[in-house]
Amino acid sequence: MKHTKVKTLLLGEAVNKTVCVKGWVRTKRGSKNVSFIAINDGSTINNIQAVAESDSFDESLLKQITTGACLSIIGTLIESQGSGQKVEIAAQEIEVLGEADTDLYPLQPKRHSLEFLREKAHLRFRTNTFSAVFRIRHALSFAIHQFFNDKGFVNLHTPIITGADAEGAGEMFQVSSLDWNNLPKDDKGNVDESQDFFGKKTNLTVSGQLEAELGALALGQVYTFGPTFRAENSNTSRHLSEFWMIEPEVAFADLNDNMDLAEDFLKYCIQYVLDKCSDDIAFLDKRLADEEKNLPKEQKSEMGLTERLQFVVENDFERLTYTEAIFILRNSKPNKKKKFQYLIEGFGADLQSEHERYLVEKKFKKPVILTDYPKGIKAFYMRMNEDGQTVRAMDILFPGIGEIVGGSQREERMEILKSRMEEMDVDQEELWWYLETRQFGSCPHSGFGLGFERLIMFVTGMKNVRDVIPFPRYPQNSEF
């Protein structure tokens, strides 16, 4: 018999019909005479209950039904006698597809710590929290493609292996097929990279932006959505070594257009999840409230998860320049009382997460877009302002997250771009193809990068980026 998803069964449309459900046991309880088995198949946060009369089944079979076991159940869908669910299945046939040894199965029907579950990443999908997070991750991914498709963007698959360091930060994983125990050397005794697989030094991409710019300067509007890799040794709750980034790039767009696009985009994605994932959001909302129950007042969120998402959708982001932000920060209480770990002295300082959070969570209490950063702390490709000091950069800062988007208007003027590359020691020969776009039909254009996992953190209320990607990679961890 064909099986039906739990999500569909719970709609109750098949009442009094014979149905088949397949899934994994979340809990089994009951008495000598009857067992109540909660089954989940991942289609929804909710379980369906199957009721098995002990008389109808072998005792040995009922014994195999333990938390984690995989079952196929055929029975009649009936209106539930008990409270808590609308319908349940009166089981007639039960097949155990896969047993789960109770003594060894790591997931007990109780709350586990997220740290513990990270070590069981192959099984954590079976928990309510992670199944909700990963259904939402999927919904967001779908929303992103929908948003850009509706606007006529072309999805561009940029390379994962590249010779370029787009961000010029040098935080790259090298890609090589050389034998590390027997490296070819040149005359000077250095590793001879010309003998490597690609005939030169290559790395995993840190961003698809530079290639996306080539696309935009022909196709008009493009976006990438792919994995990016950073070998920065930052063991924080917001950094991964492998993360997914969405990078739109638009010809004929200036920084204001770029900010408008990013704000629309974020609001669209959040609204999409509010509309399509209400059960999962309701679950995570409650989860977050429970988690924060015992925190001191100043650490509690001011709004619940749903409320916070609605707030972001309904309110304009605050837009101000870096220089204005520095003025606010310099005169802020935590700066004057030396509460910031990094005190703000004046123009030029790189903003730390504590400063970003002050602006977003204390000062404006909503998402903030900071623009026009000093050239010294931003990448070579950002468009120089008239003042010769600041560039047309924008960072979007979110409550509880800090930077969620980084972008800019690009430097489309060849001479200025070249001199910036020189100043910042960026190899012009390596990027000859990038420079040629400025030589042949250059035009004003802009783009940004959204850290996919940071968006998922915000939408789900999860506090560690490692808990919103199926198999997180971070220093000293590449398991699974």
- The answer to whether 301 touches 308, Cβ cutoff 8 Å, is yes
Stretch that binds ligand 4AD, among 17-25, 194-202, 351-359, 398-406 (CB under 6 A): 398-406
Closer residue to Mg ion in complex, CB, 129/158:
158
- Tokens linked to 272: 């999409």
**Which of 449, 460, 462, 468 is close enough to bind ligand 4AD by CB under 6 A?**
449
Could you tell me which residues are beta bridge partners of residue 396? Answer: 369, 405
> Structure tokens of 426?
């960026």
Pairing assessment for the beta strands 87-98 and 48-53 based on DSSP bridges: parallel
What's the sign of the alpha-carbon dihedral 91, 93, 99, 101? positive
449 binds Mg ion (CB under 5 A): no
Compute the least distance from the CB of residue 421 to ligand 4AD, in Å.
Answer: 15
Q: Which two tokens stand for residue 43?
A: 């289609």
What's the rounded Cα separation, in Å, for the pair 77 and 88? 6
Q: Which is nearer to Mg ion, 367 or 406 (CB)?
A: 406
- Min dist CB 394 to Mg ion, Å, is 10
Residue of 405, 421, 462, 468 interacting with ligand 4AD (CB under 6 A): 405
Residues 6+ apart with CB under 8 A from 50: 21, 36, 37, 39, 71, 73, 75, 88, 89, 90, 91, 94
Which residue's CB is nearer to ligand 4AD, number 311 or number 474?
Answer: 474
- Indicate which single residue of 291, 318, 403, 430 sits in contact with ligand 4AD (rule: CB under 6 A): 403
> By CB under 5 A, is residue 451 in contact with Mg ion?
no
The only residue of 165, 167, 263, 467 in contact with ligand 4AD, by rule CB under 6 A? 167
* Residue 406 binding Mg ion, by CB under 5 A: yes
# residues contacting ligand 4AD (CB under 6 A): 22
- Stretch in the footprint of ligand 4AD (CB under 6 A) among 186-194, 258-266, 342-350, 445-453: 445-453
Which residue in 94, 262, 404, 468 binds ligand 4AD (CB under 6 A)? 404
Tell me how far CA of residue 227 lies from CA of 230, 427, 451, 469, in angstroms: 10, 24, 10, 11
CA distance 69 to 40: 11
Residue closer to ligand 4AD (CB basis): 367 or 447:
447
DSSP 245: E
- Report the candidate in 177, 209, 170 with the shortest Cα–Cα distance to residue 191: 177
- For 32, 63, 90, the CA distances from 60, given in Å and listed in that order, are 13, 5, 19
Stretch that binds ligand 4AD, among 252-260, 270-278, 404-412, 422-430 (CB under 6 A): 404-412
Q: How many CB atoms lie within 10 A of CB 267?
A: 19
Residue placing its CB nearer to Mg ion in the complex, 97 or 169: 169
Task: Write down the least CB distance from residue 402 to ligand 4AD, Å.
Answer: 9
Residues in touch with ligand 4AD (CB under 6 A): 166-167, 207, 209, 230, 239-240, 243, 245, 247, 403-407, 447-449, 451, 453-454, 465
